[in-house]
Amino acid sequence: MASEITYAEVKFKNASPAAVVEVPPETKKHEHHPQKYPPWLPWLISLLLLLVCIAVIIALLGEYVQAGYRREWRCVSAVPRGKGQDWMCCPKGWKRFQKSCYYVSDDKMPWAESVQNCTGMGSHLVVINSKAEQAFLTNELRQSQKGTNYYIGLRAQVVGHWRWVDQTPYNETAAFWRTGEPSNVAVEMCVVIHSTTESHNWNDARCESHKRICEAAAVTA
């Protein structure tokens, strides 16, 4: 007799299903990509900076040319004839005395603006150092309207303490005050020179609008 094969379903106790490993979803990596600039950008920036520098240089040269080379000069021989070709030169319209050039203004300005105006022309308010220089200026001013005041480079920061604009020590023995001057009062801290025939013609005055005399060293060529 053929034997019968019996299949039986067998269940095991404490059997657990295969462990399921949960794999977390793949996290996306956020990579930082640096911003890329065109390779020609640094060259462009350098070119722009170069152009700005060139423009500044041209502007400065333009001012120098306008103030210097375009100025007309008048020159006289600084040595006797036959002993060389040295010349003493002053800008056109300026007066020369010894080794200095003098500008006598036609307009009026307060003290501070007068200082700036002379400085802008490469000079300073006149500093009078000798009797000969004082005589030269007095003679030049005789051609002006009598009684007109011209600033010179002498001023007091403290009443009675006079100082020249170029820091030259004030020498009382080389001062040319009018009789009774200076009055040495707080409201008159600037000094003017009068257009008069008198040799002593300085006066302390209010720092208001007056004409002015600028002085610069003559140029040797």
Give the end-to-end CA distance of the chain in Å, rounded to a whole number.
149
Q: Is the pLDDT of residue 62 over 80?
A: no
pLDDT at position 175 is 95
Q: By C-alpha distance, which of 155, 157, 132, 135 is closest to 212?
A: 155
Beta strands 73-77 and 87-91, pairing class: antiparallel
> pLDDT (tens digit, 9 = 90+) per residue, 12-45?
444 444 444 454 555 545 555 556 677 877 888 8
CA distance 49 to 43: 10
CB atoms within 10 A of CB 131: 11
The reported pLDDT for the residue numbered 68 is 44
CA atoms within 13 A on the CB side of 26: 3
Give the best-scoring range by mean pLDDT among 23-32, 46-55, 169-178: 169-178
**Domain spans of the chain?**
102-214
- In the CATH scheme, what is the code of domain 102-214? 3.10.100.10
Q: What is the pLDDT of residues 92-144, one digit of tens each?
A: 999 999 999 999 999 999 999 999 999 999 999 999 999 999 999 999 998 87
